[in-house]
Amino acid sequence: MATYQYTPMPAVEGPQVMSLGDMINMARAGQAYQQAQQINPLEVQKSQQAVQKAGIELGQLQQADRERRDLQEFFANPNNFQTNGRIDIDKINKVVPTIAPYTDIVTGKQIGRAHV
């Protein structure tokens, strides 16, 4: 006779119910935010600028990370940067700025110090 094995399904829970107290607290927080905007618009502007600045910094870090990965891929193949078994700085100077335009200045200085 065949035996059947099964794994029981987890219990399904319905959506959490918001209590009256939770609704009042949410309304108070929204009202406090609106009042803060009316009372102190400079503070609101300052926080908005901080958010914009953080977004710009995040974009720069993401770009630097993409370029770092592309440079790792480039330098993983010695034929990309060597001629006759020796490092060819002209090859590096020609290709690296196209691979990593944002981080090229730092990378170029590191490569120059390490291999010249």
Q: Which residue has the higher pLDDT, 83 or 14?
A: 83
Q: Give the pLDDT confidence score for residue 49 in this predicted structure.
A: 94
Taking the CA atoms of 25, 28, 34 and 39 in sequence, report the sign of the dihedral they define. Answer: negative
How far apart CA 52 and CA 27 sit, in angstroms, is 27
Q: pLDDT class for 116, splitting at 50, 70, 90?
A: very low
Record the tokens describing residue 38, joined without a space. 């009316």
Kindly tell me if the per-residue pLDDT of 44 is higher than 50.
yes
Residue with tokens 């006779």: 1
The arithmetic mean of pLDDT across residues 29-50, rounded, is 85
- What does the angle CA 62 – CA 63 – CA 68 come to, to the nearest 5 degrees? 95
Cβ pair 89, 116 in contact under 8 A: yes
The Cα–Cα gap between 8 and 12 comes to 12
Residue 115 has pLDDT above 60, yes or no: no
Asked if 36 and 43 count as a contact pair (C-beta separation under 8 A), the reply is yes
- Does 98 or 13 have the greater pLDDT score? 98
Range from 3-12, 40-49, 74-83 carrying the lowest mean pLDDT: 3-12
Q: What is the pLDDT of residues 66-108, one digit of tens each?
A: 999 999 999 999 999 999 989 999 999 899 889 988 886 655 5
